[in-house]
Amino acid sequence: MITNTELEYKGNLYPNKIVDFRQDTDKLYFTTENGVILQITVMRNSTIRFRYATGHTFEPDFSYAVSENASRGYNRLEVTETDSEYYIETTRVKILVDKASLRTQISDLEGNILNEDEIGFHWEENYQYGGNTVKMSKITQTGESFYGMGDKATHLNLKGKRVNNWVMDQYAYGKDQEPLYKAIPFYIGLNKNRAYGIFFDNSFRSYFDFAHERRNATSFWADGGEMNYYFFYGPEMSKVVRLYTDLTGTPELPPLWALGYHQSKWSYFPESRVKEIAKQFRDLRIPCDAIYLDIDYMDGFRCFTWDKNHFPEPKRMMKELKEDGFKTVVMIDPGIKIDKDYWVYREAMEKGYFCRRGDGPYMHGKVWPGECNFPDFTNPEVREWWAELYKEFMAEMGVDAVWNDMNEPAVMEVPGKTAPLDTRHNFDGHPCTHRKAHNIYGMQMVRATYEGVKKYVYPKRPFVITRAAFSGTQRYASTWTGDNVATWEHLWIANVQMQRMCMSGYSFVGSDIGGFAEQPNGELFARWIQLGVFHPFCRVHSSGDHGDQEPWSFGDEVTDIVRKFIELRYQLLPYLYTMFYKYVNDGIPMLQSLVHFDQEDNQTHFRTDEFIFGDHILVCPVQEPNAQGRRMYIPRGKWYNFWTEEVVDGGLEKWVPAELDEIPLFIKEGAIIPKYPVQQYVGEVELEELVLDLYYKEGVELSSVYEDSQEGFDYTQGKYSLRKFKLIGKPKQLIVQQYKDGAFTTPYESFRFNLHGLPFKIVEIEIDNEKVALKDLKLNGDNSLTVSKNFTELHITGK
């Protein structure tokens, strides 16, 4: 007998009326008649967590994204009830929960609606895999803009876009292509000068629709797991980004050399070629701190091995490179070659550390070594084992840093280019399939790598790089944006991706300068270097299939331009290091999109090209061939042209000349920019003084410079130097006040102030209320003066 087994209902399900409410300190529980529970947790005054369960049951509360050091605590939490709603109030926001539908509305204390459910939470049972597809829709307010979401290769403002999060190897990806290498499900909404953020903490494949399908609705959903999101209120975008970054964490300070210029290729081999590249950098006096070894240094692409034909004595080679100022960075991939004579494979098999398929066999796939198995990095035991594999490389042989690639994981010649979805994972004691673990696989690999590198380069600081990432991966590694292309369009994409990543809590980021696939001409390479030196991670990397891409590969003119800009980066290292300090300690993005810098100016809301490097430097790359300049938007305020020292008024679009050897570059008035001398690598030159480029302003401006030993962990015990400067400019007077914190003693004893734009001739100088003879300050005709680094207040009076 055949019966009709069709399920009674397929489609969206919705919460109905609330029948129960209870409060447990900072957690509020609202239960509906049909078994939906909304848990609202007040994390901070401006950070609220919303978590939904169906069938009366929450999943285990576990997250790889949320930092264990995330801040908690609030000042006030009040709950009131009416016939139709519950009202929740903190010192920053009000939350309304509708009794009939469980929909929520969030407003500021003045009653301005910040974020409001449209359909709100709903779900659909997944009959194929079990569990639910969880969904949320919000009302898109008129004029609302959207930002964030990591490395999306699309316009900075996401209004009208749909994106999805599924980390994927995308060789030679194009503009607007989805998805890419990162999954960072965090966005910022901005409307009527009020900004908020939403982080959807769900590791399944997720989707975000920013008024694309329906103009009045913004929605996000995931293929499984819980509807679990955090709401952050500004109203400043900068505060939203800081709150999200606090929740998901920041890295430790890197060694200073990691912020220098790095040279890479697929691949530099044999040893003689590596030495040739190193020698050419030093002969041409082009600064460089690191050379990268791609997969061809390995024995048959087996991780943690060396090809003894190409690199017969790697320990000696790396020692000799180090003597010439070069660090060595090596690649490690997740795929372990299936080879019973290969010690890494044998160990993992004996311990049962490889991922298995749903019915028991080991998951395997083809990568560079051929057939490979893949460690389950979601298992704490596997991470601990993986970390120990770095001992010989780091502690005994002298490798300085590690680069994790292909860790999406990328698997060749299979649909989807990754592990089958039935692959099983430990997930730190919460067993699941690859549907849930895929987006965090690369994150957990680089987490294990970070722990191993940190242990075995100690007492130095670790430096690790990853291609794949999920929210929170910034705690463990820097990153780059994957296999881009040597085109002008990709120069634009790289610029937008860096700004978006920094706005998404992940500042230690760069692109493959010049493009990985295909080959740039000299003009494109020069323009890309000019942009890349203003990105936190600065590395040229290219595919050997497409020709040479070293700084000297395009003729003398381009070589000179490249050298000029790399030297500028090395001069700005103390400024860049201070940016990194602010990112680590305060969650401040190292690059600011103009909308982040000045959200009150509506002209910034759709700008993509211009950005702020740190606090005080405005950069705008030239992104078209044969250009002798470009139009760009100057933010509000006054700015000094870096090349001409012309002062321009902002708040307008302006033509800026920029021949091939220049990039539009402006300094905010009042800034004090610290500079080091040009050096061929970090640590080559003993610092005799710190140069401070001071740009006069009538008014007040704050600047700072952070310094420490550049390596090691003494800075965590107070051995650092943080100098804060307050500039006060008047028509006939300039005052600089200095506040010093930290116990580190810098090697230099004096500052050399270069005074730019001073509107008067200096007639008198006082240091800490004592007049000083001008000749004693080495006052030069170019408005520069040398003073002791220990002053508290400097008065410069003119006529």
Q: What are the catalytic residues?
A: 405, 408, 483
CB 39 within 8 A of CB 53: yes
Between strands 145-148 and 186-191, the pairing is antiparallel
CB 208 within 8 A of CB 183: no
Q: Is the peptide bond before 674 cis (omega within 30 degrees of 0)?
A: no
Q: Which residues of 488-513 are buried (b: 16+ CB within 10 A; e: fewer)?
A: bebbbbbbbbbbbbbbbbbbbbbbbb
Residue 87 burial (CB count, 10 A): 13
Whole-angstrom distance, CA of residue 462 vs CA of residue 394: 10
Whole-angstrom distance, CA of residue 710 vs CA of residue 730: 37
Would the CA dihedral through 349, 351, 353, 357 be positive or negative? positive
Position of tokens 């028509």? 731
Tokens read off for 490:
């990709």
Tokens read off for 168:
């994927």
CA–CA distances in Å: residue 693 to residues 16, 571, 670: 63, 11, 10
Within 333-414, residue ranges assigned H as helices are 343-351, 380-388, 391
Residue 262 burial (CB count, 10 A): 24
Based on its alpha-carbon atoms, the radius of gyration of the chain, rounded to whole angstroms, reads 28
Whole-angstrom distance, CA of residue 112 vs CA of residue 103: 17
Tokens read off for 794:
């400097």
Going by C-alpha positions, the residue among 197, 88, 211, 90 that lies closest to residue 143 is 211
What's the first-to-final CA gap in the chain, in angstroms? Answer: 106
Between strands 512-513 and 538-540, the pairing is parallel
3-state secondary structure of 475: helix
Whole-angstrom distance, CA of residue 599 vs CA of residue 612: 13
Q: What residues pair up with 337 in beta bridges, in sequence order?
A: 372
Whole-angstrom distance, CA of residue 550 vs CA of residue 277: 8
CA angle, residues 700, 702, 705, in degrees to nearest 5: 150
Largest interatomic CA distance in the chain? 109
Going by C-alpha positions, the residue among 756, 759, 776, 754 that lies closest to residue 767 is 776
Between strands 762-767 and 750-756, the pairing is unpaired
Between strands 432-433 and 424-425, the pairing is antiparallel
- Three-state helix/strand/coil letters over 298-327: CECCECCCCCCCCCCCHHHHHHHHHHCCCE
Distance of CA 305 to the CA centre of its chain: 31
DSSP-derived secondary structure letter, 428: T
CB 305 within 8 A of CB 298: yes
Position of tokens 């800009």? 565
Whole-angstrom distance, CA of residue 305 vs CA of residue 341: 13
Whole-angstrom distance, CA of residue 465 vs CA of residue 404: 6
